[in-house]
Structure 1
Amino acid sequence: MLTRCGIGKLLLFDYDKVELANMNRLFYQPHQAGMSKVEAAEKTLKEINPDVEFEVYNYNITTMDNFNHFMERIKNGGLKEGEPVNLVLSCVDNFEARMTINTACNELGQNWIESGVSENAVSGHIQFIIPGETSCFACAPPLVVATKTDEKTLKREGVCAASLPTTMAVVAGFLVQNTLKYLLSFGDVTYYLGYNALQDYFPTMTLRPNPQCDDNYCIKQQQAFQIKEATKPKVEKTEDKVEEIVHDDNVWEIQLVSETTEDELKEADGQVPNLVEGLKVAYTTPAPTQASNEKTVDSTEKSLDELMKEMQGL
């Protein structure tokens, strides 16, 4: 999606290989089975948009040596070499990799968006993380981690649990949409947006950092953020005076009419329907009026020419 939108540069990190189980989502093709995912992704994406610059790394970011290089590329792998990247996107499927990205971003003070799909493939979420300002991934660990359960016991070898392409596409769309809002500075970037496909439920919230977070760099980022907020000049709230606009003339006899209130709707002749929360009635269909007792013109069998002559004679 970002490639189609013309993103300047993408750095891809993964160490898995393309399997037939991956054919039901993303853009992998059967003939790419056995290739590294980053290599296959680069090949396909370059065909979609050759103007995008790519860096691909086929290694496990959770090892010490690879982690140091991963940190270096976040710090210096921007569109201009030597500048940090604008945003890190996490699309991993295990807790260890998420914690690795969380540690790197906390240490560097790098904004990133975490995303994921549930094991049953019918729900997912995205979470925008600003180190020190919002909750990092370690501030509120998943239940399986909080209860000290080995996550490896939940994943079966050779089975791709979250494999519903529709859910993956919806969550990926949320991820890219908020990435564009962040990079292009339009709209509001959501701090947390969930998706439950069974109930079509989209919870949203803001997660604040945990002062007792286990990540030391998160605590340091929280302290730095609090100092930054304390040094900001306080802005006094002032009430904006609304000036009444007065026109000397009104050639077209334009009038401003207030919106229909609930009391006015109750007094209306038409029936007011019961709507769900968030919707309101703008107007009602007026009830049919009864025939009045005023005199009406009788029909006539005269032709149009005869009627016109009568008119001319008046």
Structure 2
Amino acid sequence: MNRLFFQPHQAGLSKVQAAEHTLRNINPDVVFETHNYNITTVDNFSHFMDRISNGGLEEGKPIDLVLSCVDNFEARMAINTACNELGQIWMESGVSENAVSGHIQLISPGETACFACAPPLVVAANIDERTLKKDGVCAASLPTTMGVVAGILVQNVLKYLLGFGTVSYYLGYNAMQDFFPTMAMKANPQCSDAHCRRQQQEYQKKAAENPKQEVVEVEEEVVHEDNEWGIELVAEVTEEELQAASGPKPDLPEGITLAYTLPQEKDGDGSGETVEETEQSLEELMAQMRKM
């Protein structure tokens, strides 16, 4: 937040206030509701859950999606607990301590693994994360990494809310190797969160009542009443014929293909012959062509 939103003239403002001012200047048509508090306390957690349940654009309606951009496990677990209890779909994101990798994750209570289903060691072992100190950890995060992860998160949000493309359940980013791992992880039946286990039971019940049916698409035969131009379909060119008519193919990395290759020159049929050079001008050549 400090590196993506905060501006020098906003010194003295809280992160929440600075973010609202910056975003409001970008798009004044967006309605903002800010709360500058710690969601892990009892009172604030209750209010946080209330805003998830009743904070939609229409008063009393739940919100569509929760985005988690917090920087510690305690806050993530609080969001996870609230969303599990309410059955609220949310997206979790983060940047690693080495500042050169990050991830986004779509969490659908009962369907996919929640944050407590496969917790990091610091959470599973009940270790206070503030006591952790690791050698080689970057003291300051890179705004470029944060910008990449934030962009991936927003792209996934747009696909989810607008219903296009493939929504990623988990998408990582490793800047050192330019690697983007992706996967989907099912919920853990032995999850430590009781609300997660309850959501799993409800999801399985709904899935049993409404099984997904495979849609088989049947191609309709195209019938042309007339064929004025005599157009007809012929067999496709085989790979061997295409190879024979194409030039040599260079070695390319996996996933890259050629759009075309230069045909090989054939000896003896004149196809490889070239026009001899001449000192005649273009106008003189054009005059000769007219006389032919």
In 1, Cα distance between equivalents of 2:171 and 2:78:
22
C-alpha displacement of 1:269:
4.8
In the superposition, relative to structure 1, how do residues 267 and 287 fare at CA in structure 2: closer, same or farther (>3 Å)?
closer
Structure 2 counterpart of 1:80, from 30, 50, 58: 58
The one-letter amino acid paired with 1:229 is A
C-alpha displacement of 1:45:
1.8
Q: How does 1:126-145 map to 2 (within 5 A)?
A: 126-145=104-123
8 Å contact 1:268–1:284 — kept in the other structure? no
Structure 1 counterpart of 2:128, from 129, 141, 150: 150
C-alpha displacement of 1:120:
0.9
C-alpha displacement of 1:41:
1.4
Q: In the alignment, which residue of structure 1 is the partner of 2:240? A: 263
C-alpha displacement of 1:180:
1.1
SS in 2 for 1:55: coil
Q: In the alignment, which residue of structure 2 is the partner of 1:276? A: 253
Q: In the alignment, which residue of structure 1 is the partner of 2:165? A: 187
The one-letter amino acid paired with 2:263 is P
In 1, Cα distance between equivalents of 2:84 and 2:122:
22
In 2, Cα distance between equivalents of 1:242 and 1:31:
63
Q: In the alignment, which residue of structure 1 is the partner of 2:82? A: 104
The one-letter amino acid paired with 1:275 is L
C-alpha displacement of 1:257:
6.2
Q: In the alignment, which residue of structure 1 is the partner of 2:45? A: 67
8 Å contact 1:118–1:162 — kept in the other structure? no
C-alpha displacement of 1:266:
3.8
Structure 2 residue 7 is matched with structure 1 residue 29? yes
Q: In the alignment, which residue of structure 1 is the partner of 2:186? A: 208
Structure 2 residue 32 is matched with structure 1 residue 54? yes
The one-letter amino acid paired with 1:183 is L
* 272-281 or 198-207, larger mean C-alpha shift: 272-281
C-alpha displacement of 1:275:
2.6
8 Å contact 2:5–2:18 — kept in the other structure? no
8 Å contact 1:260–1:283 — kept in the other structure? no
Structure 2 counterpart of 1:286, from 238, 263, 282: 263
User: What does the per-residue CA deviation read over 1:185-210, in whole Å, with 9 as the maximum and x for residues that have no partner?
Assistant: 11121100000000000000001000
Unaligned stretches of 5+ residues in structure 1: 1-17
User: What does the per-residue CA deviation read over 1:150-205, in whole Å, with 9 as the maximum and x for residues that have no partner?
Assistant: 3112369xx98452011000000011111111111111211000000000000000
8 Å contact 2:245–2:263 — kept in the other structure? yes
Q: How many percent of aligned residue pairs carry the same amino acid? A: 67
Q: In the alignment, which residue of structure 2 is the partner of 1:119? A: 97
Q: In the alignment, which residue of structure 1 is the partner of 2:151? A: 173
In the superposition, relative to structure 1, how do residues 154 and 302 fare at CA in structure 2: closer, same or farther (>3 Å)?
closer
TM-score (norm 2): 0.85
In the superposition, relative to structure 1, how do residues 71 and 293 fare at CA in structure 2: closer, same or farther (>3 Å)?
closer
In the superposition, relative to structure 1, how do residues 302 and 53 fare at CA in structure 2: closer, same or farther (>3 Å)?
closer
User: What does the per-residue CA deviation read over 1:282-304, in whole Å, with 9 as the maximum and x for residues that have no partner?
Assistant: 4421112346479xxxx9x9995
In the superposition, relative to structure 1, how do residues 269 and 65 fare at CA in structure 2: closer, same or farther (>3 Å)?
closer
Q: In the alignment, which residue of structure 2 is the partner of 1:11? A: none
Name the count of aligned residue pairs: 281
In 2, Cα distance between equivalents of 1:178 and 1:201:
18
In the superposition, relative to structure 1, how do residues 172 and 240 fare at CA in structure 2: closer, same or farther (>3 Å)?
closer
In 2, Cα distance between equivalents of 1:99 and 1:50:
32
Unaligned stretches of 5+ residues in structure 2: 272-277, 279-283
Q: What is the alpha-carbon root mean square deviation over aligned residues?
A: 3.2
In 1, Cα distance between equivalents of 2:103 and 2:245:
45
Q: In the alignment, which residue of structure 1 is the partner of 2:274? A: none
